[in-house]
Amino acid sequence: MGTGDPQPKAKGEAFWEWIGSTAFSVHQLLETDSWIEELEELREVPPAPTSPEVQRLLSETGDGVAVIDEPTTEIVEAIVAHRVPALFRGWGKKAGWEAPLQKWDLDFFEAGQLGELQVSLDVGEGVRRRSKMKDYVAQLKDGSHRGHYLRLWHYEEDCPEFISEFQIPDCFADGFNRLPAKTRPSRLPRWLFLGPEGTYTPLHTDPFGTHAWFLQLKGTKRFELWHPSDVKHLSDGTNFADLRDPDVEVAFPKALTVQRWTVDVEAGDLLFLPANWPHTVLTTKGPSISLTHNYLDKHGIRMVRTAFLMFTTSKIWRTTQKKVAEEKEVVDQNDAIEPTTHTADQDPASPWAAVRTSFTKNGSKEAFDQELLASPRFGESADADDRETAHPSSSDEVGGLQVVNPRCRDLLLGTTVPVSEEEHSMCYLC
Ligand SMILES: O=C(O)CCC(=O)C(=O)O
Ligand SMILES: [Fe+2]
**Is it the case that residue 340 has pLDDT exceeding 60?**
no
**8 Å CB contact between 30 and 237:** no
Q: Are strands 127-132 and 118-124 parallel, antiparallel or unpaired?
A: antiparallel
Mean pLDDT across 320-334: 68
Task: Tell me how long the chain is.
Answer: 430
Whether residues 255 and 212 share a domain: the answer is yes
280 lines ligand 1 (CB under 6 A): no
Q: At 215, is the pLDDT very low, low, confident or very high (cuts 50, 70, 90)?
A: very high
**How much distance in Å is there from the Cα of 281 to the middle of ligand 1?**
6
Q: Indicate the residue among 265, 282, 300 that finishes a domain.
A: 300
Q: Indicate the residue among 300, 319, 341 that finishes a domain.
A: 300
Task: Quote the percentage of the chain above a pLDDT of 70.
Answer: 57
pLDDT score recorded for residue 396? 25
Whether residues 270 and 350 share a domain: the answer is no
Mean pLDDT across 238-262: 93
281 lines ligand 1 (CB under 6 A): yes
- Structural domain contains residue 430: no
Q: Please report which ligand is nearest the Cα atom of 213.
A: 1
292 lines ligand 1 (CB under 6 A): yes
pLDDT score recorded for residue 311? 60
Query: Which range among 261-270, 363-372, 408-417 shows the weakest confidence by mean pLDDT?
Result: 408-417
**How much distance in Å is there from the Cα of 228 to the middle of ligand 2?**
14
In 136-253 the beta strands, taken as DSSP E runs, fall at 150-153, 190-195, 200-204, 211-226
pLDDT score recorded for residue 8? 53
Q: At 246, is the pLDDT very low, low, confident or very high (cuts 50, 70, 90)?
A: very high
187 lines ligand 1 (CB under 6 A): no
Whether residues 266 and 402 share a domain: the answer is no
The model's pLDDT over 138-196, given as tens digits with 9 standing for 90+, comes to 999 999 999 999 999 999 999 999 999 998 888 888 877 765 555 566 677 889 999 99
Whether residues 16 and 68 share a domain: the answer is no
**Is it the case that residue 99 has pLDDT exceeding 50?**
yes
Whether residues 282 and 309 share a domain: the answer is no
Q: Indicate the residue among 237, 265, 300 that finishes a domain.
A: 300
210 lines ligand 1 (CB under 6 A): no
- Structural domain contains residue 177: yes
Residue 244 corresponds to which amino acid? R
pLDDT score recorded for residue 33? 55
Query: Which range among 70-74, 96-100, 131-135, 211-215 shows the weakest confidence by mean pLDDT?
Result: 70-74
Q: How far apart are CA 135 and CA 401, in angstroms?
A: 33
**How much distance in Å is there from the Cα of 280 to the middle of ligand 1?**
8
Q: At 342, is the pLDDT very low, low, confident or very high (cuts 50, 70, 90)?
A: very low
pLDDT score recorded for residue 283? 98
- Structural domain contains residue 4: no
Whether residues 313 and 419 share a domain: the answer is yes
**Is it the case that residue 336 has pLDDT exceeding 80?**
no
The model's pLDDT over 50-91, given as tens digits with 9 standing for 90+, comes to 788 888 887 887 778 899 998 888 888 888 888 899 999 988
- Structural domain contains residue 6: no
Whether residues 234 and 115 share a domain: the answer is yes
Whether residues 203 and 103 share a domain: the answer is yes
Range among 55-69, 144-158, 320-334, 396-410 rated most confident: 144-158
Domain enclosing residue 345, as ranges: 11-42+303-425
231 lines ligand 1 (CB under 6 A): no
225 lines ligand 1 (CB under 6 A): no
**8 Å CB contact between 383 and 377:** yes
358 lines ligand 1 (CB under 6 A): no
Statement: the pTM of the whole predicted model exceeds 0.75: no
- Structural domain contains residue 47: no
Query: Which range among 49-53, 258-262, 296-300 shows the weakest confidence by mean pLDDT?
Result: 296-300
216 lines ligand 1 (CB under 6 A): no
pLDDT score recorded for residue 105? 97
Q: At 397, is the pLDDT very low, low, confident or very high (cuts 50, 70, 90)?
A: very low
- CATH number, domain with residue 122: 2.60.120.650
Whether residues 79 and 224 share a domain: the answer is yes
Whether residues 309 and 291 share a domain: the answer is no
**How much distance in Å is there from the Cα of 215 to the middle of ligand 2?**
12
The model's pLDDT over 6-60, given as tens digits with 9 standing for 90+, comes to 555 554 444 444 444 443 344 445 444 566 666 677 667 777 877 888 888 878 8
Between residues 142 and 360, which one has the greater pLDDT? 142
**How much distance in Å is there from the Cα of 223 to the middle of ligand 1?**
9
- Structural domain contains residue 266: yes
The residue contributing the CA closest to ligand 1 atom 5 is 281
Mean pLDDT across 120-127: 89
Q: At 392, is the pLDDT very low, low, confident or very high (cuts 50, 70, 90)?
A: very low
Whether residues 122 and 80 share a domain: the answer is yes
Mean pLDDT of the chain: 72
Count of other CB atoms within 10 angstroms of residue 257: 9
Whether residues 378 and 267 share a domain: the answer is no
**Is it the case that residue 300 has pLDDT exceeding 60?**
yes
**Is it the case that residue 383 has pLDDT exceeding 50?**
no
SS3 85: coil
- Structural domain contains residue 3: no
pLDDT score recorded for residue 132? 97
Provide the CA 251 distance to its chain's centre, in angstroms: 23
- Using alpha carbons, select from 150, 142, 137, 143 the residue that is nearest to residue 110: 137
394 lines ligand 1 (CB under 6 A): no
Beta bridge partners of 289: 194, 218
Number of structural domains the chain divides into: 2
The atom number, within ligand 1, closest to the CA of 195 reads 3
Q: How far apart are CA 74 and CA 53, in angstroms?
A: 10
Max CA-CA distance within the chain? 77
The residue contributing the CA closest to ligand 1 atom 3 is 201
pLDDT score recorded for residue 176? 74
